[in-house]
Amino acid sequence: MRVGVITFPGSLDDRDAQRAVRLAGATPVALWHGEHDLQGVDAIVLPGGFSYGDYLRAGAIASHAPIMAEVIDAANKGVPVLGICNGFQMLAEARLIPGAHTRNAHQQFIRRDQKLRVENTDTAWTNEYSAGAEIIIPLKNADGRYIADAETIKRVEGEGQVVFRYVDVNPNGSMNDIAGVSNERGNVVGLMPHPEHAVEAGFGPDTALAMSSGTDGLAIFTSAIRALAAV
Protein backbone atom coordinates (compact mmCIF):
# COMPACT_ATOMS: atom_id res chain seq x y z
CA MET A 1 0.00 0.00 0.00
CA ARG A 2 1.58 3.32 -1.10
CA VAL A 3 0.43 6.60 0.42
CA GLY A 4 1.58 9.84 -1.22
CA VAL A 5 2.38 12.89 0.92
CA ILE A 6 2.53 16.11 -1.10
CA THR A 7 5.09 18.77 -0.22
CA PHE A 8 4.21 22.39 -1.03
CA PRO A 9 6.43 25.46 -0.51
CA GLY A 10 5.91 26.10 3.20
CA SER A 11 4.76 22.59 4.18
CA LEU A 12 5.86 21.82 7.73
CA ASP A 13 4.46 18.44 8.62
CA ASP A 14 5.11 16.41 5.49
CA ARG A 15 7.90 14.39 7.16
CA ASP A 16 5.72 13.62 10.18
CA ALA A 17 2.92 12.51 7.87
CA GLN A 18 5.33 10.20 6.03
CA ARG A 19 6.44 8.79 9.37
CA ALA A 20 2.82 8.21 10.45
CA VAL A 21 2.14 6.36 7.19
CA ARG A 22 5.18 4.15 7.83
CA LEU A 23 4.23 3.45 11.45
CA ALA A 24 0.73 2.52 10.27
CA GLY A 25 2.26 -0.14 8.01
CA ALA A 26 2.13 1.48 4.57
CA THR A 27 4.85 2.89 2.30
CA PRO A 28 5.09 6.70 2.18
CA VAL A 29 5.79 8.27 -1.21
CA ALA A 30 7.07 11.88 -1.31
CA LEU A 31 5.17 13.85 -3.97
CA TRP A 32 5.95 17.38 -5.20
CA HIS A 33 3.37 20.15 -5.67
CA GLY A 34 4.84 21.31 -8.98
CA GLU A 35 4.49 18.01 -10.82
CA HIS A 36 1.49 16.41 -12.47
CA ASP A 37 2.42 12.97 -11.16
CA LEU A 38 0.82 11.01 -8.32
CA GLN A 39 3.22 8.10 -8.99
CA GLY A 40 0.33 5.66 -8.84
CA VAL A 41 -0.22 6.01 -5.09
CA ASP A 42 -3.23 4.35 -3.45
CA ALA A 43 -4.05 7.26 -1.10
CA ILE A 44 -2.98 10.89 -0.67
CA VAL A 45 -2.17 13.12 2.33
CA LEU A 46 -2.12 16.93 2.09
CA PRO A 47 0.02 17.86 5.10
CA GLY A 48 -0.02 20.78 7.53
CA GLY A 49 2.04 23.92 7.34
CA PHE A 50 1.99 27.37 5.84
CA SER A 51 1.88 26.72 2.10
CA TYR A 52 2.75 29.88 0.18
CA GLY A 53 3.01 31.70 3.52
CA ASP A 54 -0.78 31.55 3.94
CA TYR A 55 -0.97 34.48 1.50
CA LEU A 56 -4.41 35.36 0.10
CA ARG A 57 -6.10 32.81 2.38
CA ALA A 58 -4.56 29.73 3.99
CA GLY A 59 -4.56 26.94 1.40
CA ALA A 60 -5.86 29.15 -1.41
CA ILE A 61 -2.74 29.24 -3.59
CA ALA A 62 -1.86 25.59 -2.91
CA SER A 63 -5.32 24.55 -4.09
CA HIS A 64 -4.22 25.71 -7.56
CA ALA A 65 -0.82 23.96 -7.53
CA PRO A 66 -0.18 21.77 -10.60
CA ILE A 67 -0.55 18.45 -8.74
CA MET A 68 -3.96 19.48 -7.38
CA ALA A 69 -5.51 18.77 -10.80
CA GLU A 70 -4.53 15.13 -10.31
CA VAL A 71 -5.60 15.15 -6.64
CA ILE A 72 -9.06 16.46 -7.55
CA ASP A 73 -9.37 13.85 -10.27
CA ALA A 74 -8.29 11.04 -7.92
CA ALA A 75 -10.62 12.27 -5.16
CA ASN A 76 -13.55 12.24 -7.55
CA LYS A 77 -12.67 8.65 -8.50
CA GLY A 78 -12.80 7.55 -4.84
CA VAL A 79 -9.10 7.55 -3.92
CA PRO A 80 -8.76 8.24 -0.16
CA VAL A 81 -7.51 11.82 0.41
CA LEU A 82 -6.72 13.25 3.85
CA GLY A 83 -6.12 16.95 4.51
CA ILE A 84 -4.54 17.86 7.83
CA CYS A 85 -4.82 21.47 9.02
CA ASN A 86 -3.32 23.42 6.09
CA GLY A 87 -4.32 20.38 4.00
CA PHE A 88 -7.90 20.73 5.30
CA GLN A 89 -7.78 24.37 4.23
CA MET A 90 -6.59 23.27 0.76
CA LEU A 91 -9.45 20.74 0.46
CA ALA A 92 -11.98 23.46 1.26
CA GLU A 93 -10.35 25.91 -1.18
CA ALA A 94 -10.35 23.20 -3.86
CA ARG A 95 -14.06 22.58 -3.13
CA LEU A 96 -13.43 18.91 -2.42
CA ILE A 97 -15.19 19.35 0.91
CA PRO A 98 -17.84 21.90 1.90
CA GLY A 99 -17.18 25.00 4.00
CA ALA A 100 -14.24 27.36 4.56
CA HIS A 101 -11.76 28.51 7.20
CA THR A 102 -11.21 31.92 8.73
CA ARG A 103 -8.93 33.36 11.41
CA ASN A 104 -9.56 31.83 14.87
CA ALA A 105 -12.32 33.75 16.65
CA HIS A 106 -9.86 34.96 19.33
CA GLN A 107 -7.45 36.13 16.59
CA GLN A 108 -4.56 34.19 18.14
CA PHE A 109 -2.44 31.27 16.99
CA ILE A 110 -3.29 28.35 19.28
CA ARG A 111 -1.50 25.14 20.26
CA ARG A 112 -3.10 22.64 22.58
CA ASP A 113 -3.71 18.96 23.07
CA GLN A 114 -7.30 18.84 21.85
CA LYS A 115 -10.05 16.39 22.67
CA LEU A 116 -12.24 15.33 19.73
CA ARG A 117 -15.14 12.98 19.26
CA VAL A 118 -15.16 10.72 16.22
CA GLU A 119 -18.65 11.36 14.86
CA ASN A 120 -18.54 9.19 11.75
CA THR A 121 -16.59 5.94 11.56
CA ASP A 122 -17.89 5.17 8.09
CA THR A 123 -15.16 7.01 6.17
CA ALA A 124 -11.92 5.88 4.54
CA TRP A 125 -9.96 7.59 7.33
CA THR A 126 -11.97 6.72 10.48
CA ASN A 127 -13.15 3.12 10.11
CA GLU A 128 -10.66 1.86 12.73
CA TYR A 129 -12.17 4.01 15.51
CA SER A 130 -15.13 2.87 17.54
CA ALA A 131 -18.25 4.99 17.15
CA GLY A 132 -18.24 8.00 19.45
CA ALA A 133 -14.61 7.45 20.46
CA GLU A 134 -12.98 10.42 22.16
CA ILE A 135 -9.36 11.05 21.20
CA ILE A 136 -6.70 13.64 22.02
CA ILE A 137 -4.40 14.94 19.30
CA PRO A 138 -2.43 18.20 18.96
CA LEU A 139 -3.94 21.34 17.44
CA LYS A 140 -1.82 24.26 16.17
CA ASN A 141 -3.08 26.92 13.80
CA ALA A 142 -4.21 30.48 13.29
CA ASP A 143 -6.90 30.00 10.67
CA GLY A 144 -8.83 27.08 12.13
CA ARG A 145 -12.33 28.45 12.43
CA TYR A 146 -14.61 26.29 10.29
CA ILE A 147 -17.53 28.17 8.78
CA ALA A 148 -20.25 27.51 6.22
CA ASP A 149 -23.64 28.95 5.32
CA ALA A 150 -26.66 27.67 7.27
CA GLU A 151 -27.82 25.40 4.46
CA THR A 152 -24.40 23.75 4.16
CA ILE A 153 -24.14 23.24 7.93
CA LYS A 154 -27.57 21.60 7.88
CA ARG A 155 -26.53 19.35 5.01
CA VAL A 156 -23.17 18.24 6.44
CA GLU A 157 -24.80 17.56 9.81
CA GLY A 158 -27.70 15.68 8.19
CA GLU A 159 -25.55 13.60 5.87
CA GLY A 160 -23.05 12.56 8.55
CA GLN A 161 -20.26 14.57 6.97
CA VAL A 162 -19.17 15.98 10.32
CA VAL A 163 -16.42 13.46 11.04
CA PHE A 164 -14.77 15.05 14.10
CA ARG A 165 -16.16 17.44 16.69
CA TYR A 166 -14.31 19.42 19.37
CA VAL A 167 -15.12 18.25 22.91
CA ASP A 168 -14.92 20.30 26.14
CA VAL A 169 -13.26 23.30 24.46
CA ASN A 170 -14.07 24.87 21.11
CA PRO A 171 -10.59 26.25 20.47
CA ASN A 172 -11.30 28.58 17.55
CA GLY A 173 -15.01 29.37 17.27
CA SER A 174 -15.73 26.74 14.62
CA MET A 175 -19.44 26.46 13.86
CA ASN A 176 -21.17 23.55 15.63
CA ASP A 177 -17.76 22.65 17.18
CA ILE A 178 -16.83 21.08 13.82
CA ALA A 179 -13.21 19.87 13.74
CA GLY A 180 -13.31 17.70 10.62
CA VAL A 181 -15.59 17.05 7.64
CA SER A 182 -15.77 14.67 4.71
CA ASN A 183 -17.11 14.74 1.19
CA GLU A 184 -20.39 12.94 0.51
CA ARG A 185 -18.65 9.71 -0.46
CA GLY A 186 -16.44 9.63 2.64
CA ASN A 187 -13.15 9.10 0.79
CA VAL A 188 -12.03 12.72 1.31
CA VAL A 189 -11.62 13.85 4.93
CA GLY A 190 -10.14 17.07 6.32
CA LEU A 191 -9.47 17.92 9.94
CA MET A 192 -7.84 20.80 11.76
CA PRO A 193 -5.91 18.97 14.54
CA HIS A 194 -2.86 16.85 13.68
CA PRO A 195 -3.17 13.06 13.91
CA GLU A 196 0.35 12.63 12.48
CA HIS A 197 1.74 14.15 15.71
CA ALA A 198 0.06 11.48 17.84
CA VAL A 199 1.31 8.19 16.45
CA GLU A 200 4.17 7.27 18.75
CA ALA A 201 4.16 7.00 22.55
CA GLY A 202 6.26 9.73 24.16
CA PHE A 203 6.21 12.07 21.16
CA GLY A 204 2.56 13.09 21.02
CA PRO A 205 0.14 14.76 23.40
CA ASP A 206 0.92 14.98 27.10
CA THR A 207 0.09 11.45 28.22
CA ALA A 208 -0.96 12.74 31.63
CA LEU A 209 -3.89 14.34 29.80
CA ALA A 210 -4.45 11.77 27.09
CA MET A 211 -6.62 8.81 27.83
CA SER A 212 -4.42 6.63 25.68
CA SER A 213 -0.66 6.46 25.30
CA GLY A 214 -0.69 9.52 23.06
CA THR A 215 -1.13 7.50 19.88
CA ASP A 216 -4.76 8.36 19.18
CA GLY A 217 -3.90 9.62 15.68
CA LEU A 218 -2.54 6.35 14.33
CA ALA A 219 -5.98 4.88 13.55
CA ILE A 220 -6.54 7.59 10.91
CA PHE A 221 -3.72 6.09 8.89
CA THR A 222 -4.51 2.43 9.57
CA SER A 223 -8.13 3.18 8.57
CA ALA A 224 -7.03 4.12 5.04
CA ILE A 225 -5.02 0.91 4.78
CA ARG A 226 -8.09 -1.06 5.84
CA ALA A 227 -10.35 0.83 3.43
CA LEU A 228 -7.98 0.09 0.55
CA ALA A 229 -7.67 -3.57 1.50
CA ALA A 230 -11.46 -3.87 1.36
CA VAL A 231 -11.68 -2.52 -2.22
Ligand X SMILES: NC(=O)CC[C@H](N)C(=O)O
Number of other CB atoms surrounding residue 169 within 10 Å: 12
Q: Per rule CB under 6 A, is residue 33 in the interface with ligand X?
A: no
The C-alpha atoms of residue 48 and residue 83 are separated, in whole angstroms, by 8
Identify which range of 17-25, 114-122, 129-137, 138-146 contacts ligand X by CB under 6 A. Answer: 138-146
Identify which range of 124-132, 134-142, 180-188, 218-226 contacts ligand X by CB under 6 A. Answer: 134-142
Q: Per rule CB under 6 A, is residue 8 in the interface with ligand X?
A: no
Q: By CB neighbour count within 10 A (0-12 exposed, 13-18 middle, 19+ buried), where does 147 fall? A: middle
Catalytic residue among 33, 85, 128, 197: 85
| Ranges within 65-124 binding ligand X (CB under 6 A) | 85-86
Q: What is the number of the residue whose Cβ is closest to ligand X?
A: 48
Reduced to 3 states (helix: H, G, I; strand: E, B; else coil), residue 146 is strand
Are 89 and 52 spatial neighbours (Cβ–Cβ below 8 Å)? no
Distances (CA, A) of 159 to 128, 156, 178, 185, 228: 20, 5, 14, 10, 23
Please identify, using beta-carbon distances, which residue of 65 and 225 lies nearer to ligand X: 65
Min dist. Cβ of residue 86 to ligand X (A): 4
Q: Per rule CB under 6 A, is residue 49 in the interface with ligand X?
A: yes
Identify which range of 21-29, 46-54, 64-72, 117-125 contacts ligand X by CB under 6 A. Answer: 46-54
Q: Determine which helix (DSSP H) or strand (DSSP E) holds 30, and give its type and residue range.
A: strand 27-32
Are 137 and 171 spatial neighbours (Cβ–Cβ below 8 Å)? no
Q: How many residues bind ligand X (CB under 6 A)?
A: 12
Q: Per rule CB under 6 A, is residue 50 in the interface with ligand X?
A: yes
Does 196 qualify as catalytic in the annotation? yes
Per-residue string for binding with ligand X, 140-159, x by CB under 6 A?
A: xxxxx---------------
Q: Per rule CB under 6 A, is residue 41 in the interface with ligand X?
A: no
Min dist. Cβ of residue 157 to ligand X (A): 23
Are 52 and 93 spatial neighbours (Cβ–Cβ below 8 Å)? no
Are 193 and 85 spatial neighbours (Cβ–Cβ below 8 Å)? yes
Binding site for ligand X (CB under 6 A): 48-50, 54, 58, 85-86, 140-144
Positions marked active-site = 85, 194, 196
